[in-house]
Chain A
Amino acid sequence: MSVMVDRDHKFLTDIRGIAENVAGQHADEVDRDARFPREAVDALRACDALSALIPAEYGGGGVSLEAVARGCYELGRRCSATAMVFAMHQIQVGTIVRHLDGAPWFEEYLAEVARDQRLIASVTSEIGTGGDMARSIAAVTPGDDGLLSLVKQAPTCSYGGHCDDLFTTVRRSPDADGSDQVMVLHRASETDMKPAGTWDTIGMRGTCSPGFVVTASFRSEQILAAPFSTLMNESIVPLSHVLWSHVWLGIATDAFERGRAFVRAAARRKPGEPVPAAHSLSRVMSELTMLKAEVESALADFVAWSEEPGRERLGTMGSVLRFNNLKLAASEQAPRICMAVLEVIGIAAYKNDSPFGVGRHLRDTLSARLMVANERLHTIDAGLLMIAKEI
């Protein structure tokens, strides 16, 4: 236990240092130029943070999910793009670790991620599926000499031009139903990424997520064996919602901190006089506290339910609702907090070149409701709430 606590402690000390001294230093430029936060990602590599979730027996950091989630939050306070890239990578790693089932190729692969600090992107969305991750058009296609291949039209692929490997959803075979999917891990060196579109967005600009036509060849061992519905229910969906929401909480927390710095400065200018802005900020603080409580309790539920035998509860509809509700609440609450801080501070928050600016925070958190559209989650939840018994 104390080994684990030490590992978590060292990991978080490293992450806080990177957030403050590297990610935060370049955040404005990363946002302005819509460029990849390479300094921060290199710094994360240098302290082996990309293999934090990999068990020590494969050469990884053996860091707890709680600490990794906290790391997403800490990075989110300084650079949203760095935090989101880090979170998305950890979702891929975490999914492989949780569904290894002794597959030799994936065991060897995890050791390689730990050794070389490989960055994994994911290719889940596809043109023609209407944003439904539970369906694919692209399929695993058998070719000559035992190699398999896939061609997928991805409307967005975060850091697709900056990753070492990709984790892609495709149909099991050319004649499989659209919902009969598998996940394939293929290396960037086995993949042709043909750019299809740009990434000049209002926020999350540094994630560099344009569209690509992804063409890859691979071997059958590179297909993760677990059924796709199991991957989705037990790992991909809840893990994504938990880690994303930590990023959004981090961004909203920094917006709040800027509001606090502003009211403190106002109080110092006129000692003894009431500061009306502080009163407004107190309301924002209670909103932030609710967001924090939801994000942290979801993490605690996910960790506890993951430890139950067979992860039974993560397979239930109640669990789908629980982690969808986290995503809905956090993605709507985070920009609301940034917006409220904007009103507390006023024009100084509206300026891009002000230390009290929250424009980037607001723009970045607006992406939250779109990454897996909230309307889609409401449609799923609308069905489930009719049959689920406990909320």
Chain B
Amino acid sequence: MKDLRSDVREVLRDHARLPEGVENLSDDTDLFQAGMTSHASVNLMLALEDAFDIEFPDSMLKRSVFESVTRIALAVGELQEQAA
């Protein structure tokens, strides 16, 4: 699977509105604990759908799928593979 983490970070930088900035977080930092609000998380999901041309099914729309750079990259990768 292609490593999507740096692409995911770009979307995070523009949409997650993290107080610390995404550059200072590790791939496994909990984004919600780092201050991502639920409102920002919805915008992030919309932006990820646009950026990667995917649609998150309802079963993936939950906190655990979006809680870190790694988890988001895995989810995006999984959807891209399904589409391919």
Contacts and interface: CB of A to CB of B under 8 A. Distances in A.
Contacts of A383: 38-39, 42
Contacts of B33: 177, 180
B64 interface: yes
B46 A316 contact: no
A304 interface: no
A265 interface: no
B55 interface: yes
B2 interface: no
B58 A386 contact: no
A131 B63 CA distance: 22
Contact of B58 (A134, A179, A317): A317
A30 B42 CA distance: 45
Q: Is the contact region of chain A dominated by helix, strand, or loop, or is it mixed?
A: helix
Contacts of A312: 59, 62
Given A318-B58, A390-B58, A384 B42 contact: yes
B61 A317 contact: yes
Assign chain A's interface to a size class: 20 to 34
Interface in A290-334: 312-313, 315-318
B81 to A, nearest CB: 19
Query: Which residue, A134, A317, A390, has most C-beta atoms of chain B within 10 A?
Result: A317
Given A177-B33, A177-B35, A383-B38, A315 B63 contact: yes
Contacts of A177: 33, 35
Contacts of B37: 179
A1 interface: no
Contact of B61 (A134, A179, A380, A388): A388
A315 B42 contact: no
A233 interface: yes
Assign chain B's interface to a size class: 10 to 19
A180 B42 CA distance: 19
Contacts of B49: 387
Nearest to A391: B58
Nearest to A179: B32
Nearest to A177: B35
B57 to A, nearest CB: 6
* Nearest 9 Cβ contacts at the A-B interface: A315-B62, A317-B61, A383-B42, A318-B58, A316-B62, A387-B45, A389-B58, A316-B61, A390-B58
24 contacts: A134-B38, A179-B35, A180-B33, A229-B32, A229-B63, A233-B62, A233-B63, A312-B62, A315-B62, A315-B64, A316-B58, A317-B58, A317-B62, A380-B38, A383-B39, A386-B42, A386-B46, A387-B45, A387-B46, A387-B56, A387-B61, A388-B58, A388-B61, A389-B56
Interface of A: 134, 177, 179-180, 229, 233, 312-313, 315-318, 380, 383-384, 386-390
Given A312-B62, A387-B42, 11 more contacts: A134-B38, A233-B62, A313-B59, A315-B62, A316-B58, A317-B58, A318-B58, A387-B45, A387-B46, A387-B56, A389-B57
